Amino acid sequence: MLFDTFKLGALELQNRIVMAPMTRVRATACGVPSASGALYYAQRATAGLIISEGIAPSLQGQSEPNVPGLYNDEQQAAWTKITDAVHGAGGRIYAQIMHGGRIGHPEIHGLQPVGASAVAAQGTVYTSGGRLPFVTPVEMTVDQIEDQIAVFVSAAERAMAAGFDGIELHGANGYLIQQFLSDNSNMRTDRYGGSHENRARFAVEVATAVSDAIGADRVGVRLSPGGKFGDMNESDTEGLYRTLIGMLDPIGLSYLHVLETASDVVNDAIRDKWNGTLMVNPSFVDLKQMGTVGARFADKPNAARWLARGADLISFGRYFISNPDLVRRLREDLELADPDLSTYYSGGDEGYIDYPEWSPVNAES
């Protein structure tokens, strides 16, 4: 089943294996993707679908240095070369739009981050000056919220102009969309705070506006229910996500992408509430420390587990870094190479485009 074709909107995917979005910080200081990005993504084009690394929709939305953007012509032109390379290799690719919200710092972009409320995240953020404590974001007015929704729309339109097959809204891992969902980052008392419906409103309005602009069948949403990453705290996770999914479902989105950050009870509730294509990333399983990244990567047995539970697509992350031919290796049960953690975010081509495809020689070395 993992290697069956799948119809995703107007796209015919060659299998149900998805390359998950993974931050690689290879862009220039101006947010232009690395020239090597075309080869990096094309090497992995045997995936049924590639989801790009998180892309900042604006300078203010940039979460850390050397994250690529999609808010000016130079960035768009660089992404066009990448999408051309993927399509030339027979692949499909979505752009993940990732607005950092309060996960950012003036040292990165010279601007004060914005957020649902004026509450700083606990912890530190990497900047060109080293790791610095998060700053208190500007609590957005309703007018400013509408401005940020327009930022998502503009980035989505640029993504389509750059040749992407669709976009994914990053509503997980403590970034802006999840900041409206979380109790400890959203203290609002207006229509964007308080009840589950109000906390879900921003996510739904962003998804609706982007869908109106480029077509709902080209828009996916990624969520990490109950996840703690980015200093999140969602009480009544099941109730919150039942409400959110109930509001997203009628839009007719391309897919829902769920990280396994919650209990089976919550995940089953989401699966039962969602009527569209369900994509699952099964690599986050640590129920004692919910939302922390566990040591276990997404693998074939856990893909099978989730396909049996009702998922349509399975996203693989870290194994795609070190196995550009991951689809073949999974299909033929070949040994998987482990990625080098030291080069995840090191910049340059090492640990980026130099992982070899499987061969008997490599397997023996």
Contact yes or no for 56/70 (Cβ under 8 A) = yes
Query: What percentage of the chain carries pLDDT values higher than 70?
Result: 95
Domain with 81 in it:
6-364
Determine, yes or no, domain membership for 315.
Answer: yes
Q: Residue 197: inside a domain, yes or no?
A: yes
Domain count within the chain: 1
Q: Residue 359 — φ and ψ, nearest 5°?
A: -150, 160
> What pairing do the DSSP bridges indicate for beta strands 124-127 and 130-133?
antiparallel
Which of the residues are catalytic?
A: 175
Per-residue pLDDT tens over the stretch 76-112: 999 999 999 999 999 999 999 999 999 999 999 999 9
Give the CATH number of the domain where residue 67 resides.
3.20.20.70
pLDDT by residue for the chain (365 residues), tens digit each? 999 999 999 999 999 999 999 999 999 999 999 999 999 999 999 999 999 999 999 999 999 999 999 999 999 999 999 999 999 999 999 999 999 999 999 999 999 999 999 999 999 999 888 899 999 999 999 999 999 999 999 999 999 999 999 999 999 999 999 999 999 999 999 999 999 999 999 999 999 999 999 999 999 999 999 999 999 999 999 999 999 999 999 999 999 999 999 888 999 999 999 999 999 999 754 444 444 444 468 889 889 999 999 999 999 999 999 999 999 999 999 999 999 999 999 999 999 999 999 888 665 55
In angstroms, the CA 47 to CA 59 distance is 30
pLDDT at 354: 96
Q: Is 1 part of a structural domain of the chain?
A: no
Residue 46 domain flag = yes
The contacts of residue 360 (CB under 8 Å, 6+ apart) are: none
Q: What's at 365, amino acid-wise? A: S
**C-alpha to C-alpha distance for 14 and 111, rounded to whole angstroms:** 42
**∠ CA 337-342-344, rounded to 5°:** 75
pLDDT in tens, 267-302: 999 999 999 999 999 975 444 444 444 446 888 988
Give the total residue count for the chain: 365
> 294: which residues sit within 8 A by CB, 6+ positions away?
283, 284, 285, 286
In this structure, the strands spanning 11-13 and 6-8 are antiparallel
Domain assignment of residue 330, yes or no: yes
Which of 9, 27, 26, 86 is CA-nearest to residue 51?
A: 86
Beta strands in the chain (DSSP E): 6-8, 11-13, 17-19, 49-55, 93-97, 114-115, 124-127, 130-133, 138-139, 166-171, 219-223, 255-259, 278-281, 313-316
Q: How many CB atoms lie within 10 A of CB 7?
A: 10
Helices 142-161 and 196-214: crossing angle, nearest 10°?
A: 40
| Residue 107 included in any domain | yes
